[in-house]
Amino acid sequence: MTRLNLIRHFPVFLAAAEEEHFHRAAKRLGVAQSAVSRRIGLLEDDLGGVRSRRDQAACAGPTGQDPAAPTPAA
C-alpha cells in the first residue's frame, strides 16, 4: 500500500470509527453510505485484512478478529 492510498482513505476511516456507524459517517462527510463502505473496503484490501465489523454499527478492530468478541484474559 502506498502512503497516498492511506492518506486518501484515512478521513473516511476516521469518520466511521468516530461515528461507529457508516451511515452517520457518510452524513458527516456529505457522501453516500455506499461510498464510505467502498472506501473502507478498499482500505481493508490495501492493508490485507478485515479491520471493521459491519452490522448495525461499524467498529474498528484488529485484523482477523471480531471486534465484538471478548478479549481473552492474559
Q: How far apart are CA 14 and CA 58, in angstroms?
A: 11
Q: How far apart are CA 44 and CA 39, in angstroms?
A: 9
Name the phi and psi angles at 60, rounded to 5.
Answer: -75, 140
Overall fold of domain 3-60: Arc Repressor Mutant, subunit A (1.10.10)
Residue whose C-alpha is closest to residue 53's, from 8, 27, 17, 26: 17
DSSP state of 50: -
| pLDDT tens string 34-56 | 999 999 888 888 877 765 655 54
Sequence spans of domains, the chain: 3-60
| pLDDT tens string 11-27 | 999 999 899 899 999 99
pTM for this one? 0.64
Q: What is the pLDDT of residue 52?
A: 60
Confirm if 22 and 36 have CB atoms less than 8 A apart: yes
